[in-house]
Amino acid sequence: MKIEERPLREYLYKRPQIENNGCNYCKSNNIFNGRCEDCLKKNVTLYYSLRNIEIKNHIMKTEFNLSLKQKKASKFFLEHYINKKNAYLNAVCGSGKTEIMYEVILYALNKGDKVLIAIPRKEIVFELYKRLKSVFINTTIKYIDGKNHDDNGELLVSTINQLIHYENEFDLIILDEVDAYPYQENEYLERLVKKSLKTDGVIFKMSATEKEKIDSDKYIINRRYHNYDLEYPIFIKDNSKKIDENEKLKEILLNNNRKIIIYTYSIRKSQEIADYFGCEYVNSKNKRSKEIISSFKNNRSNILVSTTILERGITIPNLDVVILDAENRVFSYQTIIQICGRVGRSSTDRMGRIYIFYKYYSLKFLKVKRYIKQMNYEMQDL
């Protein structure tokens, strides 16, 4: 069912949002003075309607061949979907997690099932939408990110927050980056995912790092599709108090003939660094972020400053990365792993450099080193 606060289409029935001291919108029991303290709605009427999709023959067109490990993983998830069993894909950055799901997506679409790919970060939704459009060439694909609400398609890409508008709707939900903010350990978002899935629906979760308790079958891929190792970061002690004092960073940028993304812990810091080096920056407040990322990809610039919004879901050849103030709590172990995973993803550029600047050493750096070592040398093939 599609749930709307205003009846924009013919609806089957309507219900009050607050009923029996519970919220029908987000399924919370956290009600105070007639308002849901989780979704922050009060006294709205919910209109329920059917979201009809076109039944047709869907086609998948790819310009690559899956590796042997990817093929085995693809078969694993297809069999689980056929048998209505949930599963978890734990795969290193750059192993082709999304591509592994193409076969099961095609199968579900050709059955007339409703398929959704959900991502915690809205910055990645549009990037994935463009990738899927080039693969499923006759499928109507729509993306929903808070500004775009058109869901008149057979395949949807959405932020998790937008699942508040659905209940018992999807046959297959592919939930990417389950360890990412804001989904990780967020009961509210977990409820939205569960309520939007059909009672007999299937959910596949994916991540490069494993933090949450796994309650379903798991498939592990510890090698990238081009079979090259993950790059080891270079850790650099940084005692500078201001950006203009960081001689090592200036040296790296001056002698670099590759693209480079500088990751910072705050919006203010990203603007400060971009101003100093005369380059663009992206963050959650910059309305030009899509345009800037596109320009960076198309070689109109070689240096980009970013907050952690670009820690995931972006593939750029010929890329090195820098993390500044890596000891800051914004850069969790999982976040650092994801940023490291931006390097060496392309089959034409399998290597790169990762510079991690820190003012004091953190135990999470040891975890990063152990993770990369484990994934590079434990050649398990499950």
Look at residue 238 and tell me if it is in a domain: yes
Whether 214 and 252 share a structural domain: no
Considering the chain, what percentage of its residues have pLDDT values greater than 70? Answer: 95
Same domain, 85 and 163: yes
Do 9 and 121 reside in the same domain of the chain? no
Distances from the Cα of 117 to the Cαs of 56, 62, 252, in angstroms? 20, 19, 38
Q: Same domain, yes or no, for 139 and 245?
A: no
SS3 labels along 179-202: CCCCCCCCHHHHHHHHHHEEEEEE
Residue 60 domain flag: no
381, part of any domain: no
Residue 136 domain-assigned? yes
Nearest by Cα to 371 from 184, 208, 212? 208
Which of 179, 194, 221 is the last residue before a domain boundary? Answer: 221
> Same structural domain for residues 142 and 249?
no
**Is 193 found in the same domain as 169?**
yes
CATH no. for residue 154?
3.40.50.300
Q: Where are the alpha helices (DSSP H) in 199-351?
A: 247-254, 267-277, 289-297, 333-340
Instruction: Answer whether residue 57 is part of any domain.
Output: no
Nearest to residue 70, comparing CAs of 92, 39, 48, 50? 92
Cα Rg, the chain, nearest whole Å: 22
- DSSP assignment letter at 381: -
Crossing angle between the packed helical segments 333-340 and 363-377, to the nearest 10 degrees:
50
Residue 173 sits at φ, ψ, to 5 deg, of -120, 125
Same domain? 352 vs 286:
yes
170 & 274 share domain: no
Pair (261, 213) in one structural domain: no
pLDDT along the chain (382 residues), means of 10: 87 93 94 92 93 92 84 95 95 83 97 94 84 94 88 94 96 88 82 96 87 76 71 91 88 87 94 92 84 84 90 83 94 90 77 92 92 70 40
Look at residue 255 in the predicted model and tell me its pLDDT: 79
The answer on 216 and 83 residing in a single domain is yes
Please, which residues have CB within 8 angstroms of residue 269's CB and are 6 or more apart in sequence? 324, 325
Query: Is residue 215 a part of any domain in this protein?
Result: yes
Report how many domains make up the chain: 3
Q: Where a domain ends, among 187, 221, 255?
A: 221
Kind and range of the H or E run holding 371: helix 363-377
> Are 200 and 341 contained in the same domain?
no
User: In this structure, what are the phi and psi dihedrals at residue 129, rounded to the nearest 5 degrees?
Assistant: -55, -45
Name the 3-class secondary structure at 314. coil
Per-residue confidence (pLDDT) for residue 381, from 0 to 100: 43
At 91 the pLDDT is 81
Range of the domain at 139: 68-221
- The two structure tokens encoding residue 76: 């694993």
Nearest to 123 by CA among 284, 337, 324, 325: 284
Pairing relationship of beta strands 31-32 and 87-91 according to DSSP bridges:
unpaired
Domain-terminating residue out of 191, 221, 251: 221
- In a domain, residue 143? The reply is yes
pTM for the structure as a whole: 0.79
227 inside domain:
no
In order, the DSSP letters of 100-152 are HTHHHHHHHHHTT--EEEEES-HHHHHHHHHHHHHHSTTS-EEEESSS-----
CA distance 95 to 84: 25
Name the nearest CA neighbour of 279 among 256, 307, 310, 300. Answer: 300
Residues 146, 149, 154, 155: what is their CA dihedral angle, to the nearest 10 degrees?
Answer: -10
Q: Are 189 and 161 in contact (CB under 8 A)?
A: yes
For residues 322 and 360, membership in a common domain is answered with yes
Q: From CA 304, how far away is CA 273, in angstroms rounded?
A: 10
